[in-house]
């Protein structure tokens, strides 16, 4: 809310003051203070800043012009009006020269109000203008502080056109200290210099012209502005025909990225080598193992009559050992194939793939009298052969590790956000919580081969298959109550 203007009246005559006051009150000005001499005038100034001063030209011990000087010393922007009994041309000139806003003759006191009003209005306008200027100065100071203390390099440029108005070059008009440091050149070597002079050609001109034409900023990486450094440059228009760039030194980040890429490539290479090795080793091991098994069988057949019971047992042990080694090698081969044999993914009906897995397991299902329940399953983009192997491994385990009651296996699937969550649930012996992670590692088994047959590779294969499809695999189980194996497949698929 605007305060009422405070009008300070210097007047030695009470009746003249009353006259002036009446006029002012009539015009709605209520806050009027009377000073009758020099002392009370100074006191009034000390109390508070007036909005305007109406000054009698001549008083016994004082005069209007001196009062005005006192006022202006203290409050330079407060307007003052000289009020006088009679005013000659000289006095009028003197008062205006001394800085009075206006003067009024006492005979013509009805002018007092409009003159006061106008002076107040002008003073208010002056005050508002000064406020705007002050704010402008402040914001300029803030901008300059930002410009000079910011860590990003800022540079400003002006487009240069040829006679046909085609942009052909640009010149630098300002840079901040950060940019100076970034390019390692003093301001003086850069300001006013054209890009062609600096780089031998108008570097990135096309991009900057586009920025000016579209009004949209662009970002790009540069290695020429400061040789040996990678700068991330964002360019944006800021005035007609002028654009600014913001530069961030990303050399270090780039080096890290390159190192990381290099490492990833190395890792992929060594991984591939390892897979190749596992594949070749397991593949080549099969041959000698086949020979051992073959000759053991031959030995059993040919020399059956000539061997005593102990020797027969030894031969049987050797044959079993060789058979087991063959199973291990076969599974190992399978395991190494998951990563190395990359078939393309295709859309498949998971119900169909699950039924295929059960057909492959029909012997086991029949022998164990297992009941298999399958809920509705979605169509997915997968490696079909691997999906059958995955389901087959999980269903086979669910049957194999059964408890006293006949095995029951439930296969189901639900949606969860961006993925499908499959579940193969059994009513078998269950798994101790402390083993629930370990079983997905290669060769990790919780039982002897005599108890439950197997190589301990099945779940490791499952994990590889699931991960190749961008999913996770885990088990939830309580010993004696059965297990639920879960795995996820990304809805969008992975190519
Ligand atoms: P394998 O079945 O050849 O032993 P896996 O890698 O398939 O190897 O399984 C590793 C171990 O995890 C198994 O030896 C078994 O102890 C445990 N396991 C796997 N599936 C089940 C299940 N459905 N119920 C209980 N234990 C299981």
Closest CA to ligand 1's atom 2: 454
pLDDT of residue 484: 97
Q: What is the CATH number of domain 150-249?
A: 3.30.450.20
What pLDDT was estimated at residue 341?
Answer: 64
User: What separation in Å is there between the alpha carbon of 457 and the centre of ligand 1?
Assistant: 9
Which residue's alpha carbon is nearest to atom 11 within ligand 1?
445
- Alpha-carbon gap, residue 333 to 327, rounded angstroms: 10
Nearest to 338 by CA among 383, 400, 370, 293: 383
| Site to substitute for ligand 1 among 392, 404, 456, 484, most atoms within 8 A of C-beta | 456
Tell the CATH superfamily of the 6-130 domain: Response regulator (3.40.50.2300)
> What pLDDT is attached to residue 1?
41
Mutate to test the pocket of ligand 1, among 330, 368, 390, 397 (most ligand atoms within 8 A of CB): 397
Backbone angles phi, psi at 136, to 5 degrees: -60, -45
CB of 293 closer than 6 angstroms to any ligand 1 atom: no
For residue 392 and ligand 1, the question of a CB distance below 6 A is answered with no
Determine if ligand 1 sits within 6 Å of the CB of residue 445.
yes
Dihedral sign (CA 26, 27, 31, 32) = negative
209 alpha carbon – ligand 1 mean position (Å): 67
For the chain, 495 residues long, give each residue's pLDDT as a single digit of tens: 457 899 999 999 999 999 999 989 988 899 999 999 999 999 999 999 999 999 998 888 899 999 999 999 999 999 999 988 876 778 778 888 888 888 888 888 888 999 999 999 999 999 899 999 999 999 999 989 988 999 999 999 999 999 999 999 999 999 999 999 999 999 999 999 999 999 999 999 999 999 999 999 999 999 999 999 999 999 999 888 899 999 999 999 999 999 999 999 988 888 778 777 777 777 788 888 888 888 888 888 888 788 888 888 888 888 888 888 888 888 888 887 776 666 788 899 999 999 999 999 999 999 999 999 999 999 999 999 999 999 999 999 999 999 999 999 999 999 998 899 999 999 999 999 998 999 998 878 887 777 888 888 899 999 999 998 889 999 999 999 999 999 999 887 554
Rounded to the nearest 10°, the torsion over CA 170, 171, 175, 180 is 100
Q: What is the pLDDT of residue 280?
A: 79
Question: In this predicted structure, what is the pLDDT of residue 495?
Answer: 44
For 253-337, CATH gives 1.10.287
- Residue of 303, 157, 171, 329 lying closest to 243 (CA atoms): 157
Alpha carbon of 289 to ligand 1 centroid (Å): 25
In short, whether 395's Cβ falls inside 6 Å of ligand 1 is: no
Please provide the CATH number assigned to the domain covering 344-490.
3.30.565.10
Task: Give residue limits of the domains in the chain.
Answer: 6-130, 150-249, 253-337, 344-490
End-to-end CA distance of the chain: 70
Q: Ligand 1 centre and the CA of 401: distance in Å?
A: 7
Ligand 1 lined by 446 (C-beta under 6 Å): yes
Cβ distance 68 to 55 under 8 Å?
A: yes
């Amino acid at each position: 809310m605007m305060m009422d203007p405070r009008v300070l009246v210097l007047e030695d005559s009470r009746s003249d003051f009353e006259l002036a006051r009446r006029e002012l009150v009539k015009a709605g000005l209520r806050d009027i203070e009377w000073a009758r001499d020099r002392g009370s005038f100074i006191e009034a100034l000390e109390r508070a800043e007036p909005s305007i001063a109406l000054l009698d030209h001549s008083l016994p011990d004082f005069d209007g012009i001196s009062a005005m000087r006192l006022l202006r010393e203290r409050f330079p922007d407060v307007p003052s009006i000289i009020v006088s009994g009679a005013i000659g041309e000289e006095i009028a000139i003197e008062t205006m020269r001394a800085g009075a806003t206006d003067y009024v003759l006492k005979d013509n006191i009805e002018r007092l109000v409009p003159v006061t009003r106008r002076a107040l209005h002008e003073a208010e306008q002056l005050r508002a203008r000064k406020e705007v200027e002050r704010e402008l100065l402040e914001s300029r100071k803030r901008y300059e502080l930002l410009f000079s203390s910011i860590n990003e390099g800022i540079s400003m440029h002006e487009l240069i056109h040829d006679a046909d108005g085609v942009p052909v070059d640009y010149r630098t008009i300002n840079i901040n200290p950060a940019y100076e440091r970034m390019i390692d050149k003093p301001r003086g070597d850069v300001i006013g210099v054209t890009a062609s002079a600096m780089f031998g050609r108008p570097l990135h001109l096309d991009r900057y012209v586009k920025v000016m034409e579209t009004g949209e900023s662009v970002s790009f990486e540069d290695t020429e502005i400061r040789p040996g450094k990678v700068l991330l440059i964002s360019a944006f228009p800021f005035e007609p025909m002028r654009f600014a760039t913001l530069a961030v030194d990303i050399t270090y980040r780039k080096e890290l990225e390159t190192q990381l890429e290099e490492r990833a490539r190395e890792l992929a290479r060594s991984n591939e080598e390892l897979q190749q090795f596992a594949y070749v080793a397991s593949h080549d091991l099969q041959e000698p193992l086949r020979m051992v098994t073959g000759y053991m069988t031959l030995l059993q057949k040919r020399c059956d009559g000539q061997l005593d019971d102990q020797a027969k047992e030894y031969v049987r042990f050797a044959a079993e050992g060789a058979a087991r080694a063959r199973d291990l090698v076969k599974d190992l081969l399978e395991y190494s194939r998951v990563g190395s044999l990359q078939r393309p993914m295709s859309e498949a009906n998971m119900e169909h793939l699950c039924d295929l897995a059960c057909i492959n397991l029909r012997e086991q299902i029949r022998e164990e009298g297992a009941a298999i329940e399958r809920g509705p399953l979605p169509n997915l983009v997968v490696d079909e052969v691997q999906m059958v192997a995955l389901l087959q491994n999980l269903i086979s385990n669910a049957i194999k590790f059964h408890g006293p009651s006949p095995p029951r296996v439930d296969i189901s699937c639900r949606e969860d956000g961006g993925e499908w969550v499959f579940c193969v649930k059994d009513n078998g012996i269950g798994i101790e919580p402390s083993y629930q992670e370990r079983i997905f590692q290669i060769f990790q088994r919780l039982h002897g081969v005599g108890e439950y047959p197997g190589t301990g590779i099945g779940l490791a294969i499952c994990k590889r298959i699931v991960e190749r499809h961008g999913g996770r695999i885990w088990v939830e189980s309580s010993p004696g109550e059965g297990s639920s194996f879960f795995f996820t497949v990304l809805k969008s698929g992975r190519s």
